[in-house]
């Protein structure tokens, strides 16, 4: 992977200095955080805009991942499916505001469910696009490669578990590699639909969409073939950057905590 930072030094420091930027970067990466202004809004092609969610541009053309993922799949997946999650999340925010203004919470259960589903879909897809590249494939090196070797035994063992996780999602859902900051661990999780089987506090750094809309036009019911081809477009530079950013945040938090203890004494 590249040793280049995700962001220029000054921009990276600016992002690190804002809690909002920090959390946003961890979840949706440089597409959003690189353009974040002082007010937290994102200018340009990020995943938020003016306090609402927005469809981020892909970092490549719709046909860039061929032959592994067809142009038509990418076009529909991004412009129709992802857009629907963005629209649904924003509609739920509007509904919440309306409920507050009218003090009428009769339909709040449905609205909360709508927001959870659509917001999660937006975040999942935003990471998914950035996790792929026409120059992808191979395996990670650096800190993430070492962590995978240590925690899974080898990259091959990690890949076998991730593949099995993806192939065995019941119905529509995702396989994800999470960074879990409490124990400083990596784990592979299944996500049902967009938001089922929650792993609160853990942050996805690699997401694989196994909804039928992600592969059926090309692979029909052969989800396993799609997953095997997907490994050829995984952008490990992006995944490594996410892991290193999060572990650096954890390390920095520890230093601050130590300092706070000294101050208290």
CA distance linking residue 214 with residue 69, whole number of Å: 9
Describe the strand order of the beta sheet including 173-180 as a list of residue ranges: 185-192, 173-180, 203-209
Judged by CB under 5 A, the stretch of 34-42, 150-158, 183-191, 202-210 that binds Fe ion is: 202-210
Q: Is 209 in the site for Fe ion (CB under 5 A)?
A: yes
What's the Cα-to-Cα distance from 155 to each of 80, 135, 177, rounded to whole Å? 34, 19, 13
Nearest approach in angstroms of CB 186 to Fe ion is 23
Q: Is 230 in the site for Fe ion (CB under 5 A)?
A: no
Nearest approach in angstroms of CB 149 to Fe ion is 30
Q: Is 226 in the site for Fe ion (CB under 5 A)?
A: no
Judged by CB under 5 A, the stretch of 32-40, 44-52, 194-202, 203-211 that binds Fe ion is: 203-211
Q: Is 211 in the site for Fe ion (CB under 5 A)?
A: yes
Task: Write phi, then psi, for 49 (nearest 5 degrees).
Answer: -160, 120
Q: Which is nearer to Fe ion, 22 or 84 (CB)?
A: 84
C-beta separation of 173 from 211 below 8 A: yes
Total residues contacting Fe ion (rule CB under 5 A)? 2
Q: Is 235 in the site for Fe ion (CB under 5 A)?
A: no
CA distance linking residue 181 with residue 176, whole number of Å: 15
Judged by CB under 5 A, the stretch of 53-61, 162-170, 182-190, 205-213 that binds Fe ion is: 205-213
User: What residues from 100 to 119 belong to the interface with Fe ion (CB under 5 A)?
Assistant: none
Place of tokens 């992808």: 136
CB-side neighbour CA atoms (13 Å) of 235 = 20
Nearest approach in angstroms of CB 24 to Fe ion is 21
* 168 Cβ contact partners less than 8 Å away, ≥ 6 residues apart: 190
CA distance linking residue 154 with residue 168, whole number of Å: 21
Binding site for Fe ion (CB under 5 A): 209, 211
């Amino acid at each position: 992977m590249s040793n280049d930072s995700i962001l220029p030094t000054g921009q990276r420091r600016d992002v690190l200095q804002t809690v909002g930027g920090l959390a946003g970067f961890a979840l949706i990466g440089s597409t959003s955080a690189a353009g974040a202004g002082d007010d937290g809004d994102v200018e340009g092609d990020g995943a938020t805009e003016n306090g609402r969610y927005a469809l981020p541009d892909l970092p490549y053309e719709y046909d860039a991942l061929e032959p592994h993922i067809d142009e038509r799949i990418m076009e529909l997946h991004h412009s129709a499916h992802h857009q629907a999650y963005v629209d649904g999340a924003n509609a739920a925010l509007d509904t919440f505001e309306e409920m507050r203004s009218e003090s009428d919470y009769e339909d709040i259960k449905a609205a909360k469910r709508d927001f959870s589903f659509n917001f999660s879909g937006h975040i999942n897809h935003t990471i998914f696009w950035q996790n792929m590249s026409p120059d992808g494939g191979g395996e990670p090196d650096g800190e993430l490669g070492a962590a995978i070797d240590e925690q899974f035994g080898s990259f091959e063992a990690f890949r076998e578990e991730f593949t099995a996780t993806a192939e065995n999602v019941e119905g529509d859902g995702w396989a994800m590699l999470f960074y879990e900051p409490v124990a400083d661990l990596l784990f592979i999780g299944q996500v049902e639909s967009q938001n089922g089987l929650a792993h609160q506090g853990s942050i996805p750094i690699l997401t694989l969409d196994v909804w039928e809309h992600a592969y059926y036009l090309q692979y029909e019911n052969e989800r396993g073939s799609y997953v095997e081809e997907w490994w050829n477009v995984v952008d490990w530079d992006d995944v490594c950057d996410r892991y290193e950013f999060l572990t650096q945040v954890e390390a920095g938090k520890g230093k601050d905590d130590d300092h706070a203890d000294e101050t208290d004494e």
